[in-house]
Structure formats: C-alpha cells, structure tokens
Amino acid sequence: MTVLVLMEDNEPSRQALTLARKFGEPRSLRMDAVQPFAPDALAAALAVTADDLNVSAVFAAGTDRGNEVMARLAARTGLPFAANCIAATPGDPVQVTRQRWGGSLLEDARLHSPRPLITVAAHTVPADSGAPPVEVDVKAPDEADLIVRVSDHVAPANGGVSLTTAKVIVSGGRGVGSKEGFAIIEELASLLGAAVGCSRAVTSAGWRPHTDQVGQTGTKVAPEVYIACGISGATQHMAGLKGAKRIVAINSDPQAPLMLNADYTVTGDLKEIVPAISAEIRKQK
C-alpha cells in the first residue's frame, strides 16, 4: 500500500511521516508545489494523486497550513478528517488519539473512512530520520483553484523581540493590575533581552496587544526561561507553554495552577519582586 504525505522541509512534516509509515510506503507531495501558496490547488493535487496511486491514507503536519489544506481535501472528497493526532493505528475503523483544547485534553476516537485524512500534532511524535519519500509531480492547477492564493506579504509591525524565537519571556497576567503596571515587566524584559508576553485576561482588558498573548488562541512559545508574573495558569494559557524549558512563576497565590506547574516559584507581590529582580541584575552587571 502507498500512503501520501503533504510535506515541507521542517520537523513537523518529518514527524507526520513517522505516523504515515504505519499506513504504507510513503510518497510525498510538496507544500511548495504550487507557488504562491494556493490551498485549493494543493487540495486538488492531493485528491488526484490519492486516486491515481490508490493511497491508503493521506497525512500532513498539524500546522496551520497542513490543517488548512487537509480540511480542503476533506471538503472536496467528502471524507472525514482527524486533525492534530498524536497516534494512529491502521484498521477499520482507524484508531486515533488526537488533541483537544490545544493539547490540554486528549481524545481517543474511531475514524470511519475508506481513506483516512490525518494531521499529526507538532512535536508529539519523533521525526522520521529515514530517506525522504519519492516526490510526486503536480499538474498545472485549474484557474478555479487559484481564486484563493497569496498575493502579497506584510512584514511584522513591531521591531521588538519575537515571542516565537525569544530565549527569555517575561510575561504578565491579571495580577499586573493595569496597562501602566507593565512598566516593571518591560524593564525586566529589556535587561534580559527578553520578549514581553501576557495572558488572555490582559489582552481582553486592552492592556497589551494580542500579538503579546501567549496561549491556545495566542502564540505558542518555546523559550529557555518563561517568567510568569501574576498569571494564574488557566488551561488556555498553559496550552501555549508546553515548549518552555523552565518556568519561573511569581504569584501571591501559592495554589495558583501556574505555581503548581512551574519549575521555580516565588510567592508574593509581583510589584515588589519584579523590580527587585531588575535591581539584582543591575547590581551584578
């Protein structure tokens, strides 16, 4: 049996390949086979190739693009689609385990489908280290499948340290108290060359822009150290922190979920503690 994998040159694609190999001998269709990006054209190419090769399943990485193209393939072919799986076992039905709530909950499910369409949640299975699969050719797309295509690109607005690539993030929650309260967070971040983050409560209150929000509906981060100041640690926020190596939590409530899920905790008033950390760094410089 042959299995088709939508691939990019990245880790999540090689992780998807690991699960795909359980369903057959992989062939790959490249995400950049249609340029500029046109998701309907890619879905059309996957549908045609899947039929031509009579593949047992189609896989992609559970990235924004992977999920989007697979959902279009599902809509086009009238098949069910299981997004963000962390395990999949061939059979009828196919058994999958998939993420809900941004990974805060797992679901065991049966996928009843003649051709399973599955994306693999990023960083949940090891990457395939074998030889890359043989690539399939893609015919010139139909005009109708190019109506939705990228026509321009806008560079990011702010020049600050990016949350996604930051080595250190100093993040504030409801406990910071106000927009002005973030001055001490920004001061510490600037001393550390860190990015400033925040929780959803903070963006909803209008204290910080949404681009600073860490969490399930914000940015997922992977810093060396994440310093959480006055953040309770709702599942919405924790879903964005799974990649953080070390978490330092500062909170007046020692029972706050984030205090229980941190590596290091400081109990007390962040308005005293954060400036004291800044002062200590200055003293040692």
Task: Looking at residues 87 to 146 of the shown chain, list those that interact with other proteins (rule: CB under 8 A).
Answer: 93, 99-113, 119
Q: How far is CA 98 from the centre of its chain?
A: 14
Under the criterion CB under 8 A, does residue 249 sit at the interface with other proteins?
yes
For residue 3, give the nearest of 17, 24, 28 by alpha carbon: 24
Give the nearer residue to other proteins in terms of CB position, either 21 or 167: 167
Q: Please identify which residue in 76, 115, 123, 174 interacts with other proteins, judged by CB under 8 A.
A: 76
CB burial of residue 271 (10 Å; 0-12, 13-18, 19+): middle
Shortest CB 130 distance to other proteins, Å: 26
Under the criterion CB under 8 A, does residue 158 sit at the interface with other proteins? Answer: no
Residue 73 and residue 34: Cα distance in Å, rounded? 15
State the minimum distance, in angstroms, from the CB of residue 76 to other proteins: 6
What does the CA dihedral 252, 257, 263, 269 come to, rounded to 10 degrees?
-10
If one asks whether residue 228 binds other proteins (CB under 8 A), the answer comes out as: no
**Residue appearing with tokens 């949940």:** 124
Any contact of residue 148 with other proteins (CB under 8 A)? yes
Q: Give residues 5-34 in contact with other proteins (rule: CB under 8 A).
A: none
Give 74 or 136: the residue with its C-beta nearer to other proteins: 74
12 contact partners, CB below 8 Å, separation of at least 6 = 61, 62, 63, 66, 120, 122, 123
CB neighbour list of residue 156: distance below 8 Å, 6 or more residues apart = 162
**Minimum distance of other proteins from residue 172's CB (angstroms):** 15
Encoded one letter per residue, x for contact with other proteins by CB under 8 A and - for no contact, window 254-273 reads: --xx-xxxxxxxxxxx--xx
Least Å distance, CB 259 to other proteins, is 6
**Nearer to other proteins by C-beta: 62 or 133?**
62
Q: Which of residues 162-221 bind other proteins (CB under 8 A)?
A: 164, 167-168, 192, 200, 203-204, 206, 209-211, 213, 216-218
Residue 26, C-beta contacts closer than 8 angstroms, at least 6 positions apart: 2, 3, 4, 5, 17, 20, 59, 133
With CB under 8 A as the contact rule, which of the stretches 24-32, 50-58, 131-139, 234-242 interacts with other proteins? 234-242
Tokens of 262: 């941190």
